[in-house]
Amino acid sequence: MADKAELKRKYKQTLTSMGIYIIKNIVNGKILIGKSKNIPGRINRHKFELEHGSENIRDLQKDYNQVGLSNFSFEMLDQLEPKEDPAYNYTDDLTVLLELWLEKLQPFEDRGYNKK
């Protein structure tokens, strides 16, 4: 049977990348900053929604329709490190981290797709 340290190590390895992501329109420089407990999954969802015309962020969808996928970049901006406690709730940490990045990059109005 595995010891506690081994179980913790395995738990941390099974977590998906969580934190802050950025979607950037390479043509006009506008950005979207978002948070997720599963960044790869969230980025895939954005791509799927954009491709199928169902992205909820209308300006992002409009720009995507004009310039296409190849003119957007999708990246992780900041990652949360997993805690020892498997029951830890990362929601508040993600919210604070998102607020810090929104303050720093100001992705609003002409600069981005986020709403104040």
The pLDDT of residue 56 is 97
Q: Over the chain, what is the mean pLDDT?
A: 92
Supply the pTM of this predicted model.
Answer: 0.86
By mean pLDDT, which of 9-18, 37-46, 57-66, 70-79 is the weakest? 9-18
pLDDT higher at 84 or 10: 84
pLDDT for the residue 12 = 60
pLDDT in tens, 53-92: 999 999 999 999 999 999 999 999 999 988 888 789 999 9
36 CB burial (10 A radius; 0-12, 13-18, 19+): buried
Coil, helix or strand at residue 50: helix
Mean pLDDT across 33-45 = 96
Band (pLDDT 50/70/90 cuts) for residue 4 is confident
Beta bridge pairs of residue 112: 31
Tell me yes or no: is domain 13-111 CATH 3.40.50.360: no
User: How far apart are alpha carbons 88 and 67 in whole angstroms?
Assistant: 41
Evaluated on CA atoms 85, 89, 94, 99, the torsion sign reads: negative
The answer to whether 76 and 19 are in contact (CB under 8 A) is yes
Q: Which two tokens stand for residue 110?
A: 């002409």
Please determine, for residue 15, whether its predicted confidence score (pLDDT) is greater than 80.
Answer: no
Cα–Cα dist 27/51, whole Å: 18
